[in-house]
Amino acid sequence: MTAAVRGGGAEARLVPFPPERPLREPTADMLESSDWADLSIGLLSRTFAEELPARRLVLDRLLGHGGRAISADGIDEPTLYGELSAPMPDLGQQARRLLDAVNGAREVRVRGAAGTDLTLRIEGRRWLNDALRLEPGRVANFPGGEICIAPLADGAEGDLVADLTIPWGPSEGLLTEPVRIRFEGGRARSIEGGAAGERLRLLVEESGAGADVIAELGIGLNPALRPRGHVLFDEKAPAPRTSRSATTPAPTKATIGPPSTSTASSPSRS
């Protein structure tokens, strides 16, 4: 990668993580490079929750002077030289069209063939995306290809049936049976569905206050990706997904498919 960057006429530095993990403090090379770089591309085969404060310090230094950051976590060698090395499609037109359709909506209703019928209130919240050009001072995952929003904390009503993935780590494989989550008043009131459902139920219980709230609705747009039990890929594949509260150590993303969505728009203003 550094050779390719230099071949294009730019400067490049390779800054490895130290062998002792988890990283508690950023190294001097990391901090100095974050002050120098216009773009950081982070490739990690393993991630640790304990490293988030150190990584945040480095990221803040980079973004603070208008740098850009691309992050790819949980990447192994076959993935790096396989799907991540293939040309990614231009999703800009599709993302803009979808954002135009959902901006200003008060709520979103998601339905799926496996039984999902979930309504999320989103009034006053802002849609984000990583399918358009990365602007200075911003960060995105790689591969990209989604739009997403944080619903109101008390705004989830109905059933979410995860029939593809509820990953517990970087790559855990697809579900062998669906997991059904019933939401009332924004909170998960019941979680059912074999061993995966029981594991999710215990995780939500053990994670404390807020773990039973939907933190994010994402709509994947990238046709080059397929759900495989890997968070990084599944959230960008063409299927909506939700994640439980980001206040917990490791938000769980539940992917459903194939879905349909509808929105209720805000009243027109004169």
pLDDT in single tens digits along all 270 residues of the chain = 888 889 999 999 999 999 999 999 999 999 999 999 999 999 988 888 899 999 999 999 999 999 999 998 888 888 888 878 888 889 999 999 999 999 999 999 999 888 999 999 999 999 999 889 899 999 998 888 999 999 999 999 999 998 888 755 444 678 888 999 999 999 999 999 988 899 889 989 988 888 999 989 999 999 888 887 777 788 888 865 555 443 333 334 455 555 555 556 543 332
Going by C-alpha positions, the residue among 171, 258, 168 that lies closest to residue 219 is 258
20 DSSP assignment = S
For residue 268, with 0-12 CB atoms within 10 Å meaning exposed, 13-18 middle and 19 or more buried, which class applies?
A: exposed
What is d(CA 118, CA 115) in angstroms, rounded to the nearest whole number? 9
H helix count then E strand count, the chain: 7, 14
Residue type, 232: L
| Residue at 148: amino acid letter | C
Distance CA 57, CA 34 (A): 10
Which residues fall within 8 angstroms of residue 258, CB to CB, at 6 or more apart?
Answer: 112, 113, 239
The residues pairing with 141 across neighbouring beta strands, listed in sequence order, are: 71
